[in-house]
């Protein structure tokens, strides 16, 4: 095959922005992956060059000029029109990248030690990555040894890179078209990010699993996985279930589900807010498979009970925590001056998840247990509205252990919108805060900390806008009939995600709510580091999975009937 096979596709609907830091790797949707190898690349700022994030980083230079026309830039296919002709790179297997280029291909670092045979260049310094070339064809392979890497690269020269690229692009061609071309391209970019961050079963995970980002984190994260599943529901509901089921694989004997776990079994000692019941319910609604409930309910109940056993030390019924990462908000000023707080969002999500557990139990015909969980949910929800609502301010806050409000106006103050029993007058006052340009109606709403707060900055949860927060608020607004406000926030969200994708070629972990700084300039637990170097400091992560998944979910609302795509699962 030749370039005409790719040119025959509708390229205008495919992602085509070269962006530094965009992920480029083999996906579990296509076959076996291997996390331990760290054989994951990202696009470099030098055009058509790839940085491999193995322990000893390796750069692949494929040639091209700044005025080359990037025609496809997905997480597994790169295709460009250059002055000398077409250039292509595509993943054939987790360990091998194949391609063709009219330029000289260079892999660095290179050690020349007589290991060159039939156009093979090897780096034997420990990275175990080999480059093989034959005229314009090239292959880059990983191996446990340089001999294995060399053998794989040499054999891969027989692989047709254009046929491989077509195989990688098939799933993107199966996606429905968004009625707006720019949003259609964004939707396929989001799918591309979801795809690259989907991995095959390995180690602790007995089925497919997801990670927030193949670089730099590489672990499964608990509540992130639920947000990933909420996007994957629109592509393959069974895969969405696997994402959640892999989280269940991590539960400890005492009921804790660690907020972070690696395939080797290494895990943290803290949990995330319980949103797994919500995820299970959404999956169950689409698959109508009671075996899911049979598997999920004991784990969900055990995890909820763990929270009450470990997170209510004063036994007043409100759950406590003292670290921002336990509620998924690292570095939030809510936790600057307190060792322990009764945390608003932890209580909201726990009440919400207990109601979903009750719904799942009703589906199983276990009405007595369902009523018990619903009663517990209603009790906690009522306590949230009674003790965490400040009537004077018209806002929800955390409380310190003396019962005083911690008056940091944070995006978490809107999360009680997810609760069915929130008083209507509370909804109206929250909408007022949301629409106030002095507080939360930022150029890119909703800021994680109010614009008016003295702690507001561009660092992570101290001011930037997060797509999962917006998704939660949109969901809550719709539950209480605030559809116009929800639609406004949805459009604002999509506009800015698309704006920065078109400029930088990636979707980001978070965004400047004031829209004054580009995401590439935002700090993450400290000032941003220049130039971009994940080995030096991690700033706003690029090609972040939940940003892609939840943006994808919001975009599907514009597609008639929002069809389940049902892309086939790979056979491993």
Neighbouring CB atoms inside 10 A of 294's CB total 10
Domain boundary among 173, 208, 242: 173
- Per the domain annotation, does 130 fall within a domain? yes
Q: Buried b / exposed e across 54-82, counting CB within 10 Å, b at 16+?
A: beebbebbbbbeeebebbbbbbbbbbbeb
CB-based contact 226:233 (threshold 8 Å): no
Q: How large is the average pLDDT for residues 329-348? A: 92
Phi-psi region of 510 (alpha: psi -120 to 50; beta: other; left: phi over 0): beta
Please give the pLDDT value at position 176. 87
More confident residue, 109 or 338: 338
Residue with tokens 């929130």: 422
- Cα separation, 174 vs 190, in Å, equals 14
Q: How confident is the model at residue 571 (pLDDT cuts 50, 70, 90)?
A: very low
**Residue 518: pLDDT over 90:** yes
Q: Is residue 56 part of a domain?
A: yes
Give 20-41 pLDDT, tens digit per residue. 999 999 999 999 999 999 999 9
The whole-angstrom separation of Cα 252 and Cα 275 is 17
The domain total for the chain is 2
pLDDT value, residue 248: 98
Question: Does pLDDT of 125 surpass 60?
Answer: no
Assigned domain for 57 exists: yes
Residue in 348, 345, 346, 343 with CA at minimum distance from that of residue 401: 343
Where is pLDDT greater, at 527 or 504? 504
Residue with tokens 């992920």: 23
Q: Is 491 left (phi over 0), alpha (psi -120 to 50) or beta?
A: alpha
547, 509 contact by CB (below 8 A): yes
Tell me, yes or no, whether 135 lies in a domain. Answer: yes
The per-residue pLDDT for range 186-244, each reduced to its tens digit, is 999 999 999 999 999 999 999 999 999 999 988 999 999 999 999 999 999 999 999 99
- The residue out of 173, 204, 225 marking a domain boundary is 173
Any domain includes 508: yes
Closest C-alpha to 475, from 487, 463, 458, 466? 487
Over range 257-261, report the average pLDDT: 97
- Domain assignment present for 505: yes
Stretch among 166-175, 388-397, 551-560 having the lowest mean pLDDT: 166-175
Residue ranges making up the domain that contains 519: 423-542
Mapping DSSP to helix (H, G, I), strand (E, B) and coil, where does residue 239 land? helix
Report the percent of the chain where pLDDT is more than 70: 94
Q: Is residue 232 part of a domain?
A: no
CA distance 263 to 28: 14
More confident residue, 329 or 555: 555
Q: Is the pLDDT of residue 54 over 70?
A: yes
Residue 370 lies in a domain: no
Domain boundary among 132, 152, 173: 173
pLDDT at site 565: 54
What value does the mean pLDDT of the chain take?
93
pTM of the model: 0.95
Least confident of 55-64, 160-169, 302-311: 55-64
Residue 561 has pLDDT above 70, yes or no: no
| 161-176 tens-digit pLDDT | 999 999 999 988 888 8
Indicate the DSSP class of residue 569. P
- Average pLDDT over every residue of 381-391: 99
pLDDT at 572 over 50: no
């Amino acid at each position: 095959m030749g370039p005409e096979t790719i040119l025959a596709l509708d390229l205008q609907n495919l992602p085509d922005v070269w962006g530094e830091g965009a992920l480029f790797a083999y996906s579990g949707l296509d076959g076996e992956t291997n996390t331990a190898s760290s054989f994951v690349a990202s696009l470099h700022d030098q055009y058509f060059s790839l940085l491999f994030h193995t322990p000893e980083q390796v750069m692949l230079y494929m040639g091209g000029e700044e005025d080359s026309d990037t025609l496809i830039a997905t997480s597994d296919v790169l295709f460009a029109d250059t002055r000398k002709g077409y250039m292509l790179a595509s993943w054939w297997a987790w360990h091998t990248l194949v391609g063709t280029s009219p330029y000289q291909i260079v892999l660095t670092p290179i050690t020349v030690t007589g290991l060159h045979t039939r156009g093979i260049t090897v780096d034997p310094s420990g990275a175990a990555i080999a480059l093989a070339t034959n005229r314009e064809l090239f292959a880059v392979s990983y191996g446990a040894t340089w001999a294995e890497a060399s053998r794989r690269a040499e054999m891969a020269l027989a692989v047709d890179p254009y046929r491989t690229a077509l195989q990688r692009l098939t799933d993107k061609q199966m996606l429905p078209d968004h009625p707006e071309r720019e949003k259609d391209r964004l939707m396929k970019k989001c799918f591309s990010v979801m795809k690259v961050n989907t991995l095959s079963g390995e180690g602790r995970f007995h089925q497919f699993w997801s990670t927030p980002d193949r670089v730099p984190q590489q672990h499964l994260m608990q509540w992130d996985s639920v947000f990933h599943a909420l996007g994957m529901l629109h592509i393959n509901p069974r895969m969405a279930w696997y994402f959640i089921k892999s989280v269940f694989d991590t539960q400890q004997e005492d009921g804790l589900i660690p907020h972070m776990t690696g395939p080797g079994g290494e895990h943290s000692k803290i949990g995330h807010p319980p949103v797994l019941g919500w995820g299970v319910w959404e999956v169950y609604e689409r698959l109508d498979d009671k075996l899911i409930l049979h598997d999920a309910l004991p784990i969900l109940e055990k995890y909820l009970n763990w929270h009450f056993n470990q997170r209510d030390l004063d036994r007043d019924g409100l759950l406590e925590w003292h670290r921002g990462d336990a509620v998924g908000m690292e570095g939030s000023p809510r936790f600057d001056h307190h060792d322990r707080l009764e945390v608003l969002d932890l209580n909201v999500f726990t009440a919400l998840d207990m109601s979903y557990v009750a719904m799942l139990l009703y589906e199983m015909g276990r009405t007595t247990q369902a009523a018990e969980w619903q009663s517990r949910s209603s009790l906690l929800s009522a306590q949230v509205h009674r003790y965490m609502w400040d009537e004077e301010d018209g806002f929800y806050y955390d409380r310190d252990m003396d019962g005083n409000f911690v008056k940091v106006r944070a995006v978490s103050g809107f999360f009680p919108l997810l609760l069915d029993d929130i008083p209507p007058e509370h909804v109206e006052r929250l909408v007022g805060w949301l629409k106030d340009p002095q507080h939360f109606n930022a150029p890119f709403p909703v800021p994680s900390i109010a614009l008016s707060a003295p702690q507001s900055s561009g660092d992570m949860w101290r001011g930037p806008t997060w797509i999962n927060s917006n998704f939660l608020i949109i969901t809550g607004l719709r539950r209480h009939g605030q559809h116009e406000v929800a639609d406004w926030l949805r459009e604002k969200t999509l506009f800015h995600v698309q704006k920065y994708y078109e400029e930088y070629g990636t979707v980001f972990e978070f965004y400047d709510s004031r829209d004054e700084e580009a995401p590439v300039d935002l700090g993450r637990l400290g000032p941003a580091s220049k130039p971009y170097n994940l080995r030096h400091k991690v700033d706003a992560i690029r090609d972040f999975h939940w940003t892609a998944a939840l943006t994808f979910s919001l975009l599907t609302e514009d597609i008639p009937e929002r069809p389940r795509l049902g892309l086939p699962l790979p056979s491993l």
